[in-house]
Amino acid sequence: MAQQANQPLPNGFKLEEYTIDRQLSLGGFSIVYLATDGEGIQVAIKEYLPNSLALRNDGDVKPVITAEHLGAFRYGMKCFFEEGRSLAKLSHPNVIRVLNFFRANDTVYMVMEYEHGRTLQEFIQKHQGHISERFIRGVFTRMLNGLREVHSHKLLHLDLKPSNIYLRGDNSPVLIDFGAARQTLATDQPILKPMYTPGFASPEHYGSRKDLGPWSDIYSVGASMYACLAGCAPLAADERLKKDNLGPAMIRWEGQYSDRLLEIIDWCLNLNHLYRPQSVFTLQKALVETITPPNPKDSNARWFGRIVDKFRKPTK
Amino acid sequence: MRFTIYQDSLQGGRANNEDRTTYCYSRDALLMVVADGMGGHHYGEIAAQIAIQTLADSFQREAQPMVVDPFRFLQRSMSNAHHAILDYTTLHHLKDSPRTTCVACLIQDNVAYWAHAGDSRLFLMRDGRIITQTRDHSRVRLLIEEGMITEAQAAEHPDRNKIYSCLGSPNPPEIEFSRKMPLEHGDILLLCSDGLWGVTSGEQMALALKGANLLQAIPTLMRQTEIKGGPHGDNLSVVAVHWEQSYIEDATSSISTQTMSQDEVTTKMEEFGRTPAYKSDLTEDEIEKAIEEIRMAIDKYNPKK
């Protein structure tokens, strides 16, 4: 059965003290809006609206929730509360801040800070494979500060990927979208499927999920760094389990980035979770160690390669 | 952080107890200290008290919730303690400064750092064996290392209580630092005064504590040692911690620092995004309550400007 997409609230809609400016994103579990509060400050509002359980028709404000789905809808709401509850307790510059939480239109809303910027995903797409080591180290070291805070609250992110790492104007990273953090509880609720993103989800995400731990988020961090180098997501972990065709970073980018960085990426992307860095701190420590510059003799080729790349692109 | 910790100090056969122990912890760091005030000098217990207080004070000030540089923290607070003892001496016009040994251990991010001056010891025990221990700053230790005497002879040596480094002496103390020691789940770190290790050897303690609950095993060990020490036995003191990996879920009598500072982390230990603790229908009341709870958390952690 094809699922119908939920209709967003119309632009200009008054939601409590907020005015909806426009829809920012639509997910299977929620809709995110850009809105303005009473003082003219922009915020992001996340509306709990699971596609499969509640349907808002065009022109309506309240979604239709059938009696058979009410139980699951309420259960999902509980997960949404968990997300709010966990985020509310995290006060960290690298983790998105929750500003308000309220109930309206038969569902619930979470108001979060909004800042101008872009996701790492957009950044990667724009810079296709030409992201500097300095940038990667800088962004990831700071992002890991936030992740550490998350883990120290006994919470896993579980859906880390470049599109969930938001970069402010000054390139300082913010972790966003903790929707997966709690949804993973729903494995035996077929209607609210656990969510993950192929390529960034760890092998533990598939299957029984009982081995999920900090190391699972660390796999996703490794995959995100790999994506910075490759310009696209690495091979999905379930495919890798069948046949591991993922070229180690150490081989693919030898000489272009420091050996240490490449080694760290491969370390994080180990299929066996026990062989990965076991804590964010371990990973962070490795990342901030002194950088040994890549082999200088290749620098010319790299520079040349870049120029050639530049000329190549338009002909594609 | 998760750990089980126990400290105890017994008088032995002495007229007073000049040993002092302390431990303190923040959400992300743990400090343990044992100081053995020197009986040969006056006011040994004062020196020991100043030492543990100085260390505990600096910890409370600096562990927010972690100490920035563990070794510098130990170095600075131990030498501050040393100077605090000397200041006390001047202030009270004492003829001779009171002195104390000191061993202190800081744990954060699963790594232990320690420092010591004198012959109070730290043992790191794993699977009933001693992985590492401090080297006493004593004359007999030097003699043993030079091969002049054996361990057995050292236990009977007339100079066995003479140490060449301590806090409070007019000569600056020689403070010896450990290396960074990553801890494993189940490791035991035991800090003690010579009243304990002089009677019950480290190896014996490691065996006695293997797989045991410290809250029961340490008091037994202490009482047995006190009896063995006899009517003239020295003061004996211990702080021992049984380290548990934060991500391992079973723990009984252990302390979890996650739940400590106020109700900040409440009782959500089991919910590492895995345990299904749901399965009940959400009533209207519960929805209202949940929203109220989240709003309170927002106000508390993210005060509006």
Residues of A with CB under 8 A from a CB of B: 71, 74-75, 77-78, 81, 84-85, 88-91, 97-103, 108, 152-156, 158, 181-182, 184-185, 188, 209-210, 212-214, 279, 281
B249, closest residue in chain A (CA to CA)? A154
* Residue B118, pLDDT score: 94
Task: Give which of B279, B270, B290, B287 is closest to A189, Cα–Cα.
Answer: B279
Do the Cβ atoms of A100 and B269 come within 8 Å?
Answer: no
Which helix (H) or strand (E) segment holds residue A254: the answer is none
Residue B269's pLDDT is what? 24
Mean pLDDT of chain B: 83
Contacts of A220 (CB under 8 A, 6+ apart): A157, A159, A160, A161, A200, A201, A202
CA separation, residue A100 to residues A88, A116, A117, A182, A316 (Å): 9, 19, 21, 19, 48
Q: What is the pLDDT of residue A71?
A: 77
Could you give the dihedral angle defined by the CA atoms of residues B151, B152, B158 and B160, in that order, rounded to the nearest 10 degrees?
Answer: 40
Q: Using pLDDT thresholds of 50, 70 and 90, give the confidence band for residue A269.
A: very high
Q: pLDDT tens for residues B151-198?
A: 888 888 888 888 999 999 988 999 999 999 999 989 999 999 999 999
Residue range B106-121, pLDDT digits in tens: 999 889 999 999 999 9
Half-sphere exposure of A316 (CA within 13 A, CB side): 7
State the smallest CA–CA distance between residue A227 and chain B in angstroms: 26
Give residue B156's pLDDT.
83
Q: How many Å lie between the alpha carbon of A155 and the closest alpha carbon of chain B?
A: 6
**Over residues A73-85, mean pLDDT:** 82
| pLDDT band per the 50, 70, 90 thresholds, residue A300 | low
Query: What's the rounded Cα separation, in Å, for the pair B254 and B36?
Result: 27
According to DSSP, residue B246 is labeled T
The one-letter code for the residue type at A214 is P
User: Between B265, B294, B301, which is nearest A81 by CB?
Assistant: B294
Q: How far apart are CA A117 and CA A263, in angstroms?
A: 30
The mean pLDDT of B256-279, rounded to a whole number, is 35
Strand partners, A100: A111
* Partner-chain contact B272 A213, CB within 8 Å: yes
Q: What is the mean pLDDT of residues B292-298?
A: 87
- Asked which of A87-91, A258-262, A277-281 is least confident by mean pLDDT, the reply is A87-91
Contact yes or no for B271 and A214 at CB 8 A:
no
pLDDT score, position B237 = 93
Instruction: Give tens-digit pLDDT for B39-87.
Output: 765 688 889 999 999 998 888 888 888 899 999 999 999 999 999 999 9
Does residue B45 or residue A187 have the better pLDDT? B45
pLDDT score for B187: 93
Residues of A in contact with B304 (CB under 8 A): 99
Q: Which residue has the higher pLDDT, A24 or A184?
A: A24
∠ CA(B301), CA(B255), CA(B217), 5° rounding? 170
Two tokens at B302? 């993210």
Give Cα B284 distance to the centre of its chain: 49
Let me know the angle formed at the C-alpha of A199 by A198 and A202, rounded to the nearest 5 degrees: 85
Highest mean pLDDT range out of A165-174, A197-206, B57-66? Answer: A165-174
Tell me the chain B residues in contact with residue A75 when contact means C-beta distances shorter than 8 Å: 278, 281-282
B interface mutation test: which of A65, A77, A80, A101 has the most B CBs within 10 A? A101
Give the one of A100, A188, A279 whose C-beta lies nearest to B298's C-beta. A100
CA-based end-to-end distance of chain A: 38
To the nearest whole percent, how much of chain B has pLDDT over 90? 45
Q: Are B124 and B131 in contact (CB under 8 A)?
A: yes
Question: Which residue among A85, A184, A279 places its CB closest to the CB of B297?
Answer: A85
Q: In Å, how far are A124, A127, A306, A307, B15 from A313, measured between CA atoms?
A: 16, 13, 11, 10, 88
Query: Could you tell me which residues come within 8 angstroms of residue A296 by beta carbon, excluding any fewer than 6 positions away?
Result: none
Residues of A in contact with B287 (CB under 8 A): 74, 77, 103, 108
Please report which helix (H) or strand (E) contains residue B207, including its range.
helix B202-209
- Please state which of the ranges A241-255, A296-310, B169-183 shows the lowest mean pLDDT: A296-310
Q: How far is B301 from chain A (nearest CA, A)?
A: 6
pTM of the model: 0.50
Average pLDDT taken over every residue of chain A = 83
